[in-house]
Structure 1
Amino acid sequence: MNNLNKYILSIAAAASLAVSGCTKNFEDFNKNPYGASNDDLLPDYGLVVGQLKEAQRSIYVYQPAWVTQLQQNLMGDVFGGYMMTPTPFSGNSNNTNYDLVDGWNLYALNPAYSSPEASVMAPLWNVQQITKTAAPDLYAMSKILQVEAMHRVSDIFGPIMYSKYKIRSEDGGYDYDSQQEAYNNFFKDLNEAITILTPLRAKKSTPTFTNADMVYGGSYEKWLQFGNSLRLRLALRIVKADAAKAKTEGEAALAIADGLLSKADDNFSVNIGATIHPLNTISGAWEDIRMGAPMESILKGYNDPRLPKYFLPAEDSMVLKEFKGIRNGIDIDAKTRYQKYSGLVTLPSKLQLMTAAEAWFLKAEAAARGWNGAGSAKDNYESGISTSFDQYNLNANATSYINDAVSTPAPYIDPKSVTPGQNDVKAGDPWLSTITIKWDDGDSFEKKLERIITQKWICIFPDGQEAWSEFRRTGYPKLFPVVINNSGGKISTTVFVRRINIPPDEYLTNPKGVERALKTLKGPDNGGTRLWWDVQ
């Protein structure tokens, strides 16, 4: 990967020297990054537009690609079952087999606050100070972006600096919201944004709003639908932790007529112009990521026509022209062993963060739970599949796929395992699902949930962060546990990794704040401790 391997191997040791923690020099990097006062920003909001765009570009950092690799690819994309690296980083003891690398995981935190590559909270905070009364539409956009970015961070670490952002505590530190507090504030912020956008939905947006919008070209209607769909996503995220709150927020989202994303063209995807999608670099130029074994098992087993839309046939002589994935957490002696397994297809220059198909599956689960306004679980489920197929121009295949009551995920065989048979998953193994595709109203709730989440998991590819979150919340789809567990007992092989520990830089730069944050966790600050919403 053009010396990136050496860089990553050294980053853990050098993190405290090369990168400041997100609370180090906190006041400095939370000043307006453009060096302008509020008065400077008022005439045409030109710099507000720049800050809104910075935030959109920072939710999923796409440049440089090595930041994406650390922020999400060697974390959520792997933990969510989508992908696996053929590269034995750090002597094959790294995130993929639960030896969590602090120097890597720092990049899931820093871009949210400030780093040389990206920032979310700083520019959005600046925008909100200026636009709350003067330009409510821009304020609403900033709130939705803030929730979309920061729920992803909270779903990695748990407690985050959110409602208390920029407020120094009496001991000089900066305080975190517990995850429960953060989620309550997410709902508050989304409600505020939705309330602003609802009366604007049929109106033409201002030129400033249009200029700031890297997703929908200035459509108030689409931003309202995205914010509302996000509200439904987060409502279901907390359903096991606070069922009453989840139902209240979910039904509020469902109560808005035509209030959710519904067509493939509605996908929330940040347009990055001529810039190459970072996964194209990581998979193509660097050959550092390949299909995950669960993807092979599920898509092959279902004869899913989206398989060649996601991945390329393998180039390895032992599996030539097959679609072949790598199992997570296995013995990898050299990159060359799995380097030619299935890479990713070339992705467009758009960062997909929510699909309309997902919104249909959210609605399907809400219906299965009996929430008001959700409609028919069966109809929503089938619409989710059809919408995903439409996204990939596979409409002609949708009906037969929806009605397939026989196909199930396929066994996984690794012909190149260092220890023959060690990586295989056979029929009858507890990790191999037997769930079929066709909806059956007579099934138990749990079987309906597995069916919904398995199809949702397929359709939200390649957003591994969201896939990992949903797997932790529901246990679906069934994924394969690691073969090698290098966590030293901190993370259970059979329970999987549940979160990422707060990076050591935070302990150094904000010790009192971190100390208070840790008291909100269910256990020690490691990868085996469940998040607030992650209830067994």
Structure 2
Amino acid sequence: MMRKNIKISALLVLLFLASSCSDFVDINDDPNNPTQPTLSLLLPSTQISLASYFNSVNGGGSAVMQHFASGTLNRWNQTGTSFSTAWSGFYTATIPDLETVIREGTAQQAWGYVAIAKLQKAYLYSIMVDLWGDVPYSQAVSENANPVLDKGVDIYTNLFALIDEALVDMDKNFTIAAGADIFYQGSKVSWQRMANSLKLKLFNQIRLSDRQKAEAGIKALISSGVLIVDNAQDFAFQYGTNVTPNARHPWYVSWYGAGRGGYVSMPLVNNLKDSDDPRLRYYVFRQNSNVGLANSMNGEGYYGREPGDGAASPADANTRALIGIYPAGGLYDNGTIRTLTAANVYLNNTGAVSTSTSNSFKIPLSTSGDGTGAGILPLITNAMVKFIRAEAALNLGTGEDAAQLLADAVAAHLNSVSTLAGKNKGTTLPAATITGFANKIKTQFAAANDAGKMELLMTQKWIALFGNGVESYNDFRRTGLPKLGDLVSPLDVFPMRFYYSETELTSNETLINDREAIQRAQQTTPVFWDK
């Protein structure tokens, strides 16, 4: 599937025109002020806002899961303002606009728009339940100023039904303008695959709380064959390259700006290096090949931090390592890694420059090479689906080959990394490297015992989920894997859920009297599927 290179100016126009369509009222029937929202403008607005506000929670997941070594969640600390932007954005922008598309699309019998909006609604609410547990659902978009928190388990039940509704709607009449659909450019079959892959993810999520339902559901979906099975079918948001206004990946904007975004995670760096994983050069860009921890000049450039390190930052803007070409569209690191030996087959110095990275840069970056910010936000991907199927094969007896699915998942992700690098004029991965590394993982899997198989699987998924900390956070709470590094200086216990927006707790009369107990329970109480 061809991905759309999104132009930010057009997106801002869409947002301006569509963000308040649910409130359009004009008694004079002025053609310049329509009484009905234009679905082809409102739908992409919902897709943009979904990706935008998802980024706010994604940073928290990435921090707690040690994809980053910065941010308060890296020390397990959160407050009522930690995720207030995402909470407010979902409930005041994304969800109301999705409901408008569903309502008005139904009235207009524009079933393609209705189906897509229902699938985005199901995806978004599933993420909200995963992160917050109980959230407003039945009264979320109503005249009720004090919506109750619906139980997460009940919301999940409704979401399975909502996905099925969307699949039925698609078969009524699916006509979507390609320019109105940022994700799939109006492809019905792509949305059908996304719908079933979302169901697969949700069934796997509940396999501990409702094994029978999960097993039956996953087996049925595998039998259908209508799942995401190719990288071109990924449910992912593609960022653009525009600088003014800014259409680039948020991580790129943050990490390549003056503030430098934070610190890379040393557990992630060490895992990639110790595993001979070629993705290290794509995940991390070293500004200085000699710098080490604590900004010393006795290292090999991977200047990040250990998890939970809350020390003040020195003057290290020009030496700390940065997020690389994947997933943020940053820089590819082709400098020499001095400690690599002949035993390193897939992460090696073939073609590397002898002293430091040749992609040294100054702000602002040139747009003539890699480092454009045209990254991706991977939401549900071919690699994720294969990892889920491998996990189900191990734990639910689906009859599939877990070892082959794991190898296929790793290969799919390596191809995704290579494709993004190619689009950003970086060095692509040789086919032999992709195949060889995936087969190496498959061999390790075959040699492991049951516990070792699960650990290897979830560790590889954790690596592949770099760019989507939310799903990695979900996996860890469900499986306890991968093994995370000990925190240098934790400020709280491991967070089982995200804090609610303090504004919600202090303005909602059904919650205000118990707000302190409710908020504290977020840190310590598992979501319903975490048994």
Q: 1:145 aligns with which of 99, 107, 120?
A: 120
State the partner residue of 2:530: 534
TM-aligned CA deviation for residue 35 of structure 1? 5.0
Change (3 A) 1:351 1:514: farther
TM-aligned CA deviation for residue 222 of structure 1? 0.9
* Mapped pair 1:76 → 2:61: yes
TM-aligned CA deviation for residue 189 of structure 1? 1.1
Q: Percent identity?
A: 22
Q: Distance in 2 between matches of 1:518 and 1:249?
A: 38
Q: 2:158 aligns with which of 185, 188, 192?
A: 185
Residue correspondence of structure 1 range 46-445 to structure 2 within 5 A: 47-61=38-52, 68=55, 70-73=56-59, 75-85=60-70, 94-114=72-92, 119-132=93-106, 134-167=109-142, 173-197=146-170, 206-208=175-177, 210-257=178-225, 259-273=226-240, 274=242, 275-285=247-257, 286-315=259-288, 316=291, 318=297, 321-336=300-315, 340-345=319-324, 346=330, 347-372=373-398, 375-393=400-418, 394=429, 395-404=431-440, 438-440=444-446, 443-444=449-450
1:269 is paired with a residue whose SS is: strand
Q: Distance in 1 between matches of 2:416 and 2:38?
A: 34
Q: Distance in 2 between matches of 1:437 and 1:463?
A: 27
Do the aligned residues in 2 keep the contact of 1:41 with 1:47 (CA within 8 Å)? no
1:440 is paired with a residue whose SS is: helix
TM-aligned CA deviation for residue 72 of structure 1? 2.9
Q: Runs of 4 or more off by more than 6 Å in structure 1?
A: 39-46, 514-519
State the partner residue of 2:500: 502
TM-aligned CA deviation for residue 236 of structure 1? 0.9
Change (3 A) 1:112 1:97: same
Do the aligned residues in 2 keep the contact of 1:175 with 1:514 (CA within 8 Å)? no
State the partner residue of 1:429: none
Q: Distance in 2 between matches of 1:246 and 1:359?
A: 15
User: Structure 1, residues 430-463: CA drift from partner, whole Å, max 9, x if none?
Assistant: xxxxxx972217721x332222221122222211
Q: Distance in 2 between matches of 1:191 and 1:41?
A: 37
Q: Counterpart amino acid of 2:158?
A: N
Q: Distance in 2 between matches of 1:44 and 1:219?
A: 28
State the partner residue of 1:420: none
TM-aligned CA deviation for residue 514 of structure 1? 6.7
2:315 is paired with a residue whose SS is: helix
TM-aligned CA deviation for residue 318 of structure 1? 2.8
Q: Counterpart amino acid of 1:397?
A: T
Do the aligned residues in 2 keep the contact of 1:389 with 1:397 (CA within 8 Å)? no
Q: Distance in 2 between matches of 1:139 and 1:458?
A: 35
Q: Counterpart amino acid of 2:281?
A: P
Change (3 A) 1:207 1:149: closer
TM-aligned CA deviation for residue 211 of structure 1? 2.7
Q: Distance in 2 between matches of 1:36 and 1:312?
A: 53
State the partner residue of 2:355: none
TM-aligned CA deviation for residue 112 of structure 1? 0.8
2:436 is paired with a residue whose SS is: helix
State the partner residue of 2:354: none
Change (3 A) 1:207 1:469: closer
1:352 is paired with a residue whose SS is: strand
Q: Distance in 2 between matches of 1:502 and 1:361?
A: 30
Do the aligned residues in 1 keep the contact of 2:390 with 2:405 (CA within 8 Å)? yes
State the partner residue of 1:417: none
Q: Distance in 2 between matches of 1:278 and 1:54?
A: 18
Change (3 A) 1:403 1:351: closer
Q: Distance in 2 between matches of 1:332 and 1:437?
A: 41
User: Structure 1, residues 400-454: CA drift from partner, whole Å, max 9, x if none?
Assistant: 223437xxxxxxxxxxxxxxxxxxxxxxxxxxxxxx972217721x332222221
Do the aligned residues in 2 keep the contact of 1:175 with 1:517 (CA within 8 Å)? no
The gaps in structure 1 that reach 5 residues or longer are: 1-28, 406-435
Q: Distance in 1 between matches of 2:300 and 2:523?
A: 37
TM-aligned CA deviation for residue 368 of structure 1? 1.6
Do the aligned residues in 2 keep the contact of 1:180 with 1:532 (CA within 8 Å)? yes
Q: Distance in 2 between matches of 1:42 and 1:195?
A: 33
Do the aligned residues in 2 keep the contact of 1:329 with 1:485 (CA within 8 Å)? yes
Q: Counterpart amino acid of 1:454?
A: T
Q: Distance in 2 between matches of 1:308 and 1:378?
A: 26
Change (3 A) 1:35 1:251: farther
1:351 is paired with a residue whose SS is: strand
TM-aligned CA deviation for residue 323 of structure 1? 3.2
2:524 is paired with a residue whose SS is: coil
Change (3 A) 1:476 1:510: same
Q: Counterpart amino acid of 2:73?
A: N
User: Structure 1, residues 13-33: CA drift from partner, whole Å, max 9, x if none?
Assistant: xxxxxxxxxxxxxxxx98815
Do the aligned residues in 2 keep the contact of 1:53 with 1:212 (CA within 8 Å)? yes
State the partner residue of 2:467: 462
Q: Counterpart amino acid of 1:528?
A: T
1:214 is paired with a residue whose SS is: coil
Q: Distance in 1 between matches of 2:303 and 2:229?
A: 32
Q: Counterpart amino acid of 1:106?
A: S
Q: Distance in 1 between matches of 2:215 and 2:515?
A: 27
* Mapped pair 1:525 → 2:521: yes
Q: Counterpart amino acid of 1:360?
A: K
User: Structure 1, residues 150-185: CA drift from partner, whole Å, max 9, x if none?
Assistant: 22222221111123322456xx62122211112112
Change (3 A) 1:339 1:197: farther
1:270 is paired with a residue whose SS is: strand
